[in-house]
Amino acid sequence: MHDLVVRRGTVVDGTGREAFEADVAVDGGTITAVGEVAARGRREIDARNLLVAPGWVDVHTHYDGQVTWDPLLSPSSWHGVTTLVMGNCGVGFAPVRRGQEAFLIELMEGVEDIPGTALHEGIEWQWESFPEYLDVLAAKKRVLDVAAQVPHCAIRAYVLGDRAHDVEVSDAEISEMSRLTVEALRAGAIGFTTSRTILHRSRHGLVPGTSSTPAELLGIGRALGEAGHGVFEMVSDLQGQEPDLAWMKEFASTTGRPITFAIAQTFVQPTAWRDTLALVDGLYEKGLQIVPQVACRPTGMLYGLQSSFHPFILYPTYRDELATLPLAERVARMRNPEVRARILAEELDTQDPIVRLLLTNWSQMFPFGDPPDYEPPAERSIAALASQTGRRPEEIAYDRMLENGGRHFIFAPLANYLDYDFDVLREMMLHPRTVLGLSDGGAHCGLICDASMPTFLLTHWARDRKRGERIPLEQAVRLQTQNTARVYGLTDRGAIEPGKKADLNVIDFDALRLHTPEMVFDLPAGGRRLVQHVDGYRATVVAGEVTFEGGEPTGALPGALVRAR
Ligand SMILES: [Zn+2]
């Protein structure tokens, strides 16, 4: 008798091996047999005509606050994620000194667009040190496994206090930051993270550590070597050029630890991602592990009347008279022909060049339907629709956003879509040195909802894509199971093999379907967040227990804190 047998499914085992029909037996939270299983299970799942895959391992999320109050960790858990890594991009909530809580919240709110009011109300600060934070996480029950990284911003605030933003720091301060990092890693942190991008700002400016010197980064980096584990993650503007390269090489060669950072095809440097991949290939030959993180679709800004950003948000009439009205009232006012004419006669009231570009880049904005099309052709852009119909793009955007009671979104890919198809993404995803990341689960609540990327990898890349080559299902599954798990040393999971952790997804592949995203107001203090529902996950299993069945949580909370050792 086994604890659980998933019977006669089509197993896509996460290793890239061709799909095969088999039973999967589970005992004590571990896979014990894959093949023909004669003995019955105390619990059986009939998986005929269904896929059986490992649970998804999502390495780029920002659930650091939500993890303390929400055992369900949606929307990632709805999408088959069974392990998530948080604490990315240098922001997080430990270590923290009394009185610094608000500062850390402001950084998170500024960078990741997670409502500060929700974080203030949701988080009970029961820790000071990073090990204490891990102990608090370990004591709480949840639906999936979480792993935490130690964020540079918090370390800097802890050591430097009011000088957290200073570039110059003393050797003694670097030693102290390094000591705290070793302490966090020894307690089980799975990595150290920082920000090197001019895009990540809070109301205090660039986040602490953005301009840190190589001496500081290497000083802290050596902690990873000392602890003998951990990934160095950063969000970086590095796209094939040099400024960070010297210390990265030194870090990778002296510590042997991997560095990972996101790359994308950007407006500014549309081919630099290719240079970065070539560079990384060269370093790999020399034994240095530099692992670019890539997405499986463009980072999707969703402009709508409920979003934190949309084309009219800085039009004077909208900003001054309408912005704070309840949605229904706002929609009614905006439908009024006189108001409509007045707004459309105005202009964006800002000189910020980035904001102006993002809010008027009509050739990179697309009305978003249901089901949502994440790979729309150029002729469906708002610019194209405008020239096809002889209207102004502003009119089209205005009228579309009012549809569906003001809930219609305009899809504005932030990167990776200059060619109007996903061939660039495909090349990045299949490059042997990259890892899939960037769902940003738990973050960008008012603008982006990419926590569904794990599902999209199957629906779009392995099944529906028509505008270019697809990715074989076996390979797609490996990208977000064995591959993601390995980068973080999580070799106990990510494949369906005897001895591995029993984290599984049982999927009706033909029925797997993403709904269009929607804004809900269910964070603490009524905070808003975008979520996206899905059909087709028949069951999700974590440590041998069924956590979701037919899309509904079962109430089982077998998730644990993963401590790196
Ligand atoms: Zn991030």
User: Whose structure tokens read 């299983």?
Assistant: 37
Q: What tokens appear for 404 in the block?
A: 């569906």
From residue 56, alpha-carbon distances to 129, 136, 439 in Å are 30, 24, 12
Residues sharing a CB contact under 8 Å with residue 308, sequence separation 6 or more, in sequence order: 113, 446, 447
Nearest Cα to 182, choosing from 140, 150, 137, 211?
Answer: 150
Question: How much distance in Å is there from the Cα of 87 to the middle of ligand 1?
Answer: 8
Give yes or no for a contact between 136 and 65, defined as CB atoms under 8 angstroms apart: no
By 3-state DSSP, what share of the chain in percent is helix, strand and coil, each rounded to 5? 35, 20, 40
Task: Tell me the CA–centroid distance for residue 234 and ligand 1, in Å.
Answer: 8
Distance between Cα 153 and ligand 1 center (Å): 13
Query: pLDDT, tens digit, for every residue of 44-103?
Result: 999 999 999 999 999 999 999 999 999 999 999 999 999 999 999 999 999 999 999 999
Ligand 1 centroid, distance to 260 Cα (angstroms)? 12
CA 32 to CA 316: how far, in whole Å? 64
**Average model confidence (pLDDT) for the chain?**
95
Ligand 1 centroid to 94 CA: how many Å?
A: 17
- The proportion of the chain whose per-residue pLDDT surpasses 70, expressed as a percent, equals 99
Amino acid at 25: A
- Cβ pair 409, 304 in contact under 8 A: yes
Q: How many whole angstroms from 224 Cα to the centroid of ligand 1?
A: 20
C-alpha 46 – ligand 1 centre gap (Å): 38
186 C-alpha to center of ligand 1: Å? 23
pLDDT given for residue 565 in this prediction: 81
Cα-to-centroid distance, 88 and ligand 1 (Å) = 5
CB 283 within 8 A of CB 250: no
Q: From ligand 1's centre to the CA of 162, what distance in Å? A: 24
Q: What is the whole-number distance in angstroms between the Cα of residue 89 and the centre of ligand 1?
A: 5
Q: What angle do CA 92, 95, 100 make, to 5 degrees?
A: 80
User: Which residues lie closer than 8 Å to 386 by C-beta, 6 or more apart?
Assistant: 362, 392, 393, 395, 396
What lies within 8 Å, CB to CB, of 432 at 6+ separation is: none
Q: Which amino acid is at 237?
A: D
135 three-class SS: helix
In angstroms, what is the span from residue 61 Cα to ligand 1's centroid?
Answer: 6
Q: For the chain, which ranges sit under pLDDT 50?
A: 240
pLDDT at 266: 86
Compute the distance from residue 111 Cα to the ligand 1 centre, in Å: 9
Ligand 1 geometric centre to CA of 208 (Å): 15
Q: How far is the CA of 294 from the centre of ligand 1 (A)?
A: 12
Q: Which two tokens stand for residue 345?
A: 């006669």
CA of 291 to the centre of ligand 1 (A): 15
Separation CA 189–CA 130 (nearest Å): 8
Spatial CA neighbour of 41 closest among 16, 17, 23, 58: 23
- For residue 188, what are its two tokens? 């089980």
For residues 57 and 499, give the distance between their C-alpha atoms in angstroms, rounded to a whole number: 17
Strand partners, 112: none
User: Hey, is 337 helix, strand or coil?
Assistant: helix
